[in-house]
Amino acid sequence: MRSEKGTALVLGVAGQDGAYLARLLLDRGYQVHGVTRAADPAGLSNLVALGIADRVTMHACEIGSTSAMRALVEALRPAEIYNLAAQSSVGLSFGQPAETIDSIVPPTLAVLEAMRGTGLDARFFAAGSGECFGDTGAEPAEEQRPFRPASPYGVAKAAAHWLVATYRAAYGLHASNGVLFSHESPLRPPRFVTAKIVHGARAVAEKRLPMLKLGNLDITRDWGWAEDYVEAMWRMLQADVPQDCVIATGVPSTLEGFAARAFACFGLDWRAHVQCDPSLRRPTDIAVSVGNPARARSALGWQPRVTMPALVDRLVEAALRAPPPAL
């Protein structure tokens, strides 16, 4: 079964990464088809914000159903398939473990089975996560490091990762995992701590909020820019040989440092306006999560362009251009 060259199918197209990826693909001349869990037009707000909502052909599909996915794949015959669909909040996965796993593992399997069953000549990208590694400690994680996830989200992403690797080896599929470390943009919803900090700092500066409550400020993360990361996704599917790549900046930053930079952008000392609330801590939390992007640099010619603290500056600039969100 031949693919339609220049046709891409993006699962989770209305999310942060899906929207930026759709724009990148459209700019490169692709016909972009999307599937999203959101059933109403309000769920396409990210596509609207990027000015591409009318350029993406949307489809209704139960993405965890192999038969439904096979029917969609047979109808579209896409050259490239990107699975970015998932419940993507690590914190929320503790409260909704079954829903999180169902949003990650069955859709991955459905795409793989659709490709195998139809014999589709396509290339598949699966969005993995640095959460699979658990605590990376002093050395940034590279692809060979064993997985030790510490959340239901990380467990689900690890299972999906190995499904992709297994189908690639067993059936010769061009299927790749991008092991994505934390990456941000103005499209992040407020439930993510980075967006909460930026919008909270603005609200404190504008005297709409007396104090911002946060959980564990001692954690260290590897924060990149979402537009850089979707470039890496696309590059992975242009490679002749499928493989798994860590997509990260390699630059460690603490959440305290993130908060300090965000408040400093408003001329404030974070220590006077942030309160640590133990109730906001997760049942388990990774102390350090940092990736090593060496393979992505050498194999894909990719490197991140935005790291801390410039990343925070960009988020603040974007926040100031938008109406303040409800707190």
Residues annotated as catalytic are: 129, 131, 153
Residue 39, Cβ density class (10 Å: 0-12 exposed, 13-18 middle, ≥19 buried) = exposed
Residue 310's identity, in one-letter code, is A
The backbone region for 301, taken as left when phi is positive above 0, alpha when psi lies in -120 to 50, beta otherwise, is left
Instruction: Report the DSSP pairing between strands 183-184 and 224-225.
Output: parallel
3-state class of 187 per DSSP? coil
Pairwise CA distance, residues 25 & 231, whole Å: 9
Task: Give the list of residues 6+ apart from residue 145 with CB closer than 8 angstroms, or none.
Answer: 133, 136
User: How many CB atoms sit inside 10 A of residue 190's CB?
Assistant: 14
